[in-house]
Amino acid sequence: MSLWAIADIHLSFKSNKDEWDKLKPRGPEDGLILAGDIGESLKTLNDAFETAKKNFKYVFWVPGNHELYSSGTAPEEEMHLRGEAKYMACVMNAKKHGVLTPEDEYMTWIYENEDGMQAGAVICPVFALYDYSFRPDHVSRDQVLDWCMEEGIRATDESLLWPTPYATRDEWCHRLVSQCETKLERAAETGLPLVIINHWPLREDTIFIPKVPRFTPWCGTKKTENWHKKYHAKVVVTGHLHVRRTDWIDGVRFEEVSLGYPRQWKEAKDVGNDVNSMMREILPGPHPPEPGMEPPTAWRTLGTVHLERPRVTTQLSRRNTIHT
């Protein structure tokens, strides 16, 4: 049983949808993690789940910000869904396909580890959102949106991601974090390592987005910074940034597994990659490094490993909204 992962497949883009339709099965017992930002509509989500379940026995999904969007261009049956109601509608669609979500009990995954021995891990899809705390110390919560706009950055979430029934996204985030921690504590009590799956990064130091450096407030919460140690994680799987990378922190592997918008992975596609080769193997995965011997960040822009940070080839143009 191998476990694979991909995020941010953004199927509202026709070329990405065409690529997703080329999804191929792996082993008969393999699983697939969809780490958020599949698309904005329930129909898109249904199509993605149907394709995933045709090719993988087990499928896990966590929401990204795009699944939570509510807009005037949404299908009529979805226009009234905002915030938590939109999330729960996505969860119900997942259940129809047998896709596991943050609302389900966590699954124990049995596999052959990197040493050829039988091992187990608890697969933990979580939904933690963000609370704007990924910001410099000198910038207060009340100032953060103005600070972002100094560089022309304002996330689409500010218009389309409603916190209903909570007063703010911060409040919703803190409620979600508390709920996640209760479930993760129970999972850690099994004595098995965890695979924690969240759309948004758990740690601010795994964020490298030089074209939009002031986008970080929409990228997570500092409340999750030590989850990998506190809950004895083996792997942390995230997306959102559209910057594929592997980091080892405190002996834990962090995988950012985004595909991204068509223009963002075009170079990888041009050298022969497709949606299948852009997936990351989560379990069994590589042998962990010795303590204190963690390798540097492995960047995976082209689907292969390189150790230098991706070059910034274009300057950020001033604009009002950033879509991520």
pTM over the 0.85 mark: yes
How many Cβ atoms from other residues are within 10 Å of residue 186's Cβ?
A: 13
CA atoms of 249 and 9, how far apart (whole Å): 26
Q: Is the peptide bond before 165 cis (omega within 30 degrees of 0)?
A: yes
Residue of higher predicted confidence among 303 and 53: 53
What are the angstrom distances between the C-alpha of 320 and each of 71, 72, 162, 215, 316?
A: 18, 19, 19, 12, 12
pLDDT at 75 over 70: yes
CB atoms within 10 A of CB 43: 14
Q: What is the mean pLDDT of residues 72-78?
A: 77
User: What is the predicted pLDDT for the residue at 319?
Assistant: 35
Answer yes or no: is pLDDT of 308 > 80. Answer: no
Mean pLDDT of the chain: 93
Q: What is the pLDDT of residue 307?
A: 55
Per-residue pLDDT at 322 exceeds 70: no
Give residue 315's pLDDT.
35
pLDDT tens-digit readout, 123-154: 999 999 999 999 999 999 999 999 999 999 99
pLDDT for residue 240 is more than 90 = yes
- Helix 42-55 crosses helix 84-96 at what angle (to 10 degrees)? 30
**Nearest to 50, CA basis, from 100, 16, 97:** 97
For the chain, give the percent of residues with pLDDT over 70: 93
pLDDT tens-place string over residues 193-237:
999 999 999 999 999 999 999 999 999 999 999 999 999 999 999
Answer for the pair 153, 323: CB distance below 8 angstroms, yes or no: no
Structure token digits, residue 312: 């910034």
Angstrom CA distances, 228 to 105, 179, 200, 273, stand at 19, 16, 14, 31
CA angle 323, 177, 5 (to 5 degrees): 55
Q: What three-state secondary structure class fits 230?
A: helix
How far is the C-alpha of 197 from the C-alpha of 255, rounded, in Å? 10
Task: Give the list of residues 6+ apart from residue 164 with CB closer than 8 angstroms, or none.
Answer: 82, 83, 84, 85
Cα pseudo-dihedral 204, 210, 213, 218, rounded to 10: -60
Of 115 and 140, which is predicted with more confidence? 140
> Distance from CA of residue 139 to its chain's centroid?
26
Please state the rounded mean pLDDT for residues 285-309.
Answer: 81
DSSP, collapsed to helix, strand or coil, labels residue 149 as helix
Q: Which residue has the higher pLDDT, 71 or 266?
A: 266
